[in-house]
Structure 1
Amino acid sequence: MSHAEITREMFEQSSWDERYGGDGHIWSGRPNAVLAREAAALTPGRAVDLGCGEGGDAIWLAERGWQVTAADFSGAGLARAAAHGAERGVADRVEWRQADLRTWRPEGEQWDLVTSHFLHLLDDGMLEATRQMADAVAPGGTLLVVGHHPDDAHTGLRWSMPGVLFAAEELAQAVDPDLFDVHTEARERRETRDGVEHVVTDAVLLARRR
């Protein structure tokens, strides 16, 4: 199997089921910093977390009064997330759904907050995914998409395949400016990996629906 084939396999459900099926946490369990900052000013309502992983963001929102739908394509990840949610006492506030975000459609359902953190799809798939996310935002609601910026490619921490990392301005093309007030940003932060501190850049798309 070539390097490219191995890398593509890393983006498949089976690969993530294997990761989540192992021992120990993959993620910290804490909410992503951008979500914590942006959601703090919002009135709790209905939220959807797309690409929820082990459920850190979804559980944090539920603890703050949101009714949350959390979706991921990994059944093993969702099982782990549901267990964490039960331990934290929010099982009645989170609905865990198995869904492949490459083909996901809101089917007319809308939420007050649509959020996705560090979901990356091959072949520029995030543009269509963002279009679907925007369709899922209720009037007066918020869309928040955060991911790894292409400037991170030099750090050696991210995937080397083209079309995976994205700038927020690229995703903004999928959001109707007649319906949304759109803000894009490249936001730096510090990340420690294997004891070494790196400066990394997050792509932040924040859109408020009128």
Structure 2
Amino acid sequence: MQQTTRDFWNDRYRQKTGESSGKPSLVLSQFAGPLVPGRALELGCGRGDDALWLARQGWQVTAADVSAVALDYAFQSATRAGLAGKIHFEEHDLAETFPEGVFDLVVASFLQSPQDWPRAHVLARAAGAVATGGRLLITEHASRPPGSDAPEDTVYPSAEETLASLDLDPRHWQRLCVCAIARTGTRDEVQGETVKDNVIFMERLG
């Protein structure tokens, strides 16, 4: 019998240290850094690196993940950093339940799973949670990351393909960046090797 999504990701996070790196993702710091802080939603917050960074910038953050193990790690990191009051952690299998409310920034970083999971549906719900004048920031793998256990013949979407899957009304959304970027691998991949990512950064006009 296939593992549930919760069991799969809980097992993954049990194999990792509970310590936050203390560093935001490159894309988040670059694209969200200039924004005026407001309400932010992070989907798939993991151990809380990006949620903690957003809170330090002045955002009031809702951080969601399917893994109770990851959320406990993230909460402990937020408590040690004195940021627990600025981050509300919620456990969700986003295919089934979703955080309530609308947000000035919705972030989904590497929300990709080797399991059969309705990613396009989840990302469309993410877009629906963006307030008028707010931004949607999606970062995803554009190629197989070094050290990944994904099959070598895994086909990753282009940024345009992911954007098309959201079926956003162009009358109500402005494209700020829909592109591929290259960066250096992190400690969870292979340091020093090139990693290709897609960025979809959109503003909701109404």
Provide the TM-score with structure 2 as the length reference: 0.85
Letter matched to residue 103 of structure 1? E
Classify the secondary structure of the residue corresponding to 2:150.
Answer: coil
Measure, in 1, the Cα distance between the counterparts of 2:24 and 2:31: 12
Shift of 1:51: 0.2
CA contact (8 A) 1:191 1:197 kept: yes
CA contact (8 A) 2:62 2:90 kept: yes
Aligned to 1:112: 104
Question: 2:61 is matched with which residue: 32, 48, 68?
Answer: 68
Return closer, same or farther for 1:205/1:139 CA change in 2, 3 Å cut-off.
Answer: same
Residue-pair matches, total:
200
Aligned to 1:171: 162
Letter matched to residue 70 of structure 1? A
Shift of 1:192: 5.5
CA contact (8 A) 2:146 2:190 kept: no
Aligned to 2:74: 81
Give deviations 1:83-113, integer Å, cap 9, x for gaps.
Answer: 0000111111000000012233455x20000
Return closer, same or farther for 1:178/1:106 CA change in 2, 3 Å cut-off.
Answer: farther
Superposed, which structure 2 residues align to 1:5-84 within 5 Å?
9=3, 12-22=5-15, 24-25=17-18, 28-84=21-77
Shift of 1:161: 8.3
Matched, 1:188 2:182: yes
Question: 1:153 is matched with which residue: 141, 144, 152?
Answer: 144
Provide the TM-score with structure 1 as the length reference: 0.84
Return closer, same or farther for 1:154/1:64 CA change in 2, 3 Å cut-off.
Answer: closer
Shift of 1:33: 0.6
Shift of 1:29: 3.6
Letter matched to residue 185 of structure 1? C
Give deviations 1:165-185, integer Å, cap 9, x for gaps.
Answer: 332212212122121112311
Unaligned runs of 5+ in 1: none
Matched, 1:201 2:196: yes
Letter matched to residue 84 of structure 2? A
Larger deviation, residues 183-192 vs 94-103 = 183-192
Letter matched to residue 125 of structure 1? P
Letter matched to residue 28 of structure 1? S
CA contact (8 A) 2:105 2:130 kept: yes
Shift of 1:126: 2.1
Shift of 1:47: 0.2
Return closer, same or farther for 1:192/1:42 CA change in 2, 3 Å cut-off.
Answer: closer
